[in-house]
Amino acid sequence: MAKVKEMTRVTESPPPVVIDYTREPIVVVDNLHVIYRVYGGGGGKGTAATALMRILRRQNRPQMKEVHAVRGVSFVAYRGDAIGVIGTNGSGKSTLLKAIAGLLPPARGAVYTQGRPSLLGVNAALMRDLSGERNIILGCLAMGLSPEETRAKYDEIVKFADLKPGFIHYPMSAYSSGMGARLRFAIAAARTHDVLLIDEALATGDAKFRKRSKAKINELRRDAGAVFLVAHNLDQVEETCNRVIWLDEGKIRMDGDPKEVIAAYNEAIGK
């Protein structure tokens, strides 16, 4: 813990990565760069006039643009860490989580993880046309639980999601966004994860659910390798995490104690 505090610095260049040899590393992010390639950014498509302009300019294909979303991020997450990732819109938080989950390839650098990362996001792949009940079963099997383990966990998941009576049998398309988020979180929390990545999943939950999910995250933290939480609610990050990474234009601006990082972030955004 003391070592994590040592990492707290505000500098123009990213803070140096201080390695704590007394703790077990779970995620190592080494000079990670992620670049999106966007096609068709060259202005309008589909109209005869823009097509003619492209032909006249001898541009047969729409232009490709690059968005350099993560720019040289390095840090080490240790066993038991719950790391909040904060930053303004478009600073690269979701991209960083997706890259740790292995869903986006690094353009440069690398991510090493101990065990399998699981990304729990607002868009986590549950089937909208299927009932909550079916989604619990599919979700548990997809996470690698056996049919017996799935049956054993079913009641606990339903209880934790705490949906309105009967809703567990309705298709998820009938759920509010908060209800969907609760069920997704309840399913993901049913097993221990080596690396659990949570992207705004709790943001739509109400105060009561946030309190319960905080307790659950603490429980998961005890059993899991490391937990990452992307959220705009800074109180929630401060309550839940033992460490905060502040991303600014794809780079780490600060990494350390939640109170210190959040205070510096609030100051920078003029809060």
Ligand X SMILES: Nc1ncnc2c1ncn2[C@@H]1O[C@H](COP(=O)(O)OP(=O)(O)OP(=O)(O)O)[C@@H](O)[C@H]1O
Q: Which residues bind ligand X (CB under 6 A)?
A: 36, 38, 67, 69, 87, 89-95
Closest separation in Å from C-beta 202 to ligand X? 14
Closest separation in Å from C-beta 57 to ligand X? 24
CA distance linking residue 197 with residue 82, whole number of Å:
10
Q: Which is nearer to ligand X, 93 or 221 (by Cβ)? A: 93
Q: Which is nearer to ligand X, 84 or 92 (by Cβ)? A: 92
Contact 254, 9 (CB under 8 A): yes
Provide the 3-class DSSP secondary structure of residue 81.
coil
Q: Which is nearer to ligand X, 94 or 240 (by Cβ)? A: 94
CA distance linking residue 79 with residue 20, whole number of Å:
11
CA distances from 154 to 92, 133, 161 (A): 35, 8, 11
Which one-letter amino acid corresponds to residue 244?
A: V
Q: Which tokens hold the place of 237?
A: 């990050």
End-to-end CA distance of the chain: 28
Closest separation in Å from C-beta 38 to ligand X? 5
Closest separation in Å from C-beta 252 to ligand X? 13
Closest separation in Å from C-beta 93 to ligand X? 4
Q: Which is nearer to ligand X, 35 or 138 (by Cβ)? A: 35
Q: Which is nearer to ligand X, 69 or 196 (by Cβ)? A: 69
CA distance linking residue 217 with residue 18, whole number of Å:
26
Closest separation in Å from C-beta 89 to ligand X? 3
Which one-letter amino acid corresponds to residue 173?
A: S
Q: Is 40 left (phi over 0), alpha (psi -120 to 50) or beta?
A: left
Angle, in degrees to the nearest 10, between helices 177-188 and 147-161: 140
Closest separation in Å from C-beta 161 to ligand X? 24
Q: Which is nearer to ligand X, 36 or 112 (by Cβ)? A: 36
Q: Which is nearer to ligand X, 243 or 251 (by Cβ)? A: 251
Provide φ and ψ at 144, rounded to 5°. 100, 10
